[in-house]
């Protein structure tokens, strides 16, 4: 992995002020959050919970079963 100094913020079209602000944010993210995100953890905001996926899966699974029974099996 390339060290930070070899990865310049070179996206085109930024003003000097924007480039400076972007650099500051990235440095702050690398310091505060990247140790966590690099291991699959939380970034700027709290991490999603497993229960969120389970809840969504149960509701959508029920809808899918309803479709199969009402449309495909008739």
List the helix and strand counts (H, then E) for the chain.
Answer: 3, 0
Q: Is 54 in the site for other proteins (CB under 8 A)?
A: no
Evaluate whether 67 touches 41 at the Cβ level (below 8 Å).
no
Q: Is 70 in the site for other proteins (CB under 8 A)?
A: yes
Q: How far is the CB of 73 from other proteins (least distance, A)?
A: 11
Q: What's the CA gap between 74 and 64, in Å, rounded?
A: 15
Give the DSSP letter of residue 49.
P
User: Which residues of this protein are in contact with other proteins, per CB under 8 A?
Assistant: 1-4, 6-14, 17-18, 21-22, 25-26, 28-30, 34, 37-40, 42-49, 52, 56-57, 59-60, 63-64, 66-67, 70-71, 74
């Amino acid at each position: 992995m390339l060290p930070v100094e070899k990865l310049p913020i070179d996206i085109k079209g930024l003003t000097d002020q924007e480039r400076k602000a972007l650099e500051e944010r990235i440095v702050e993210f690398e310091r505060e959050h990247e140790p966590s995100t690099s291991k699959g953890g939380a970034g700027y905001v709290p991490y999603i919970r497993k229960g969120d996926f389970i809840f969504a899966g149960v509701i959508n699974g029920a809808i899918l079963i309803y479709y199969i029974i009402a449309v495909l099996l008739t």
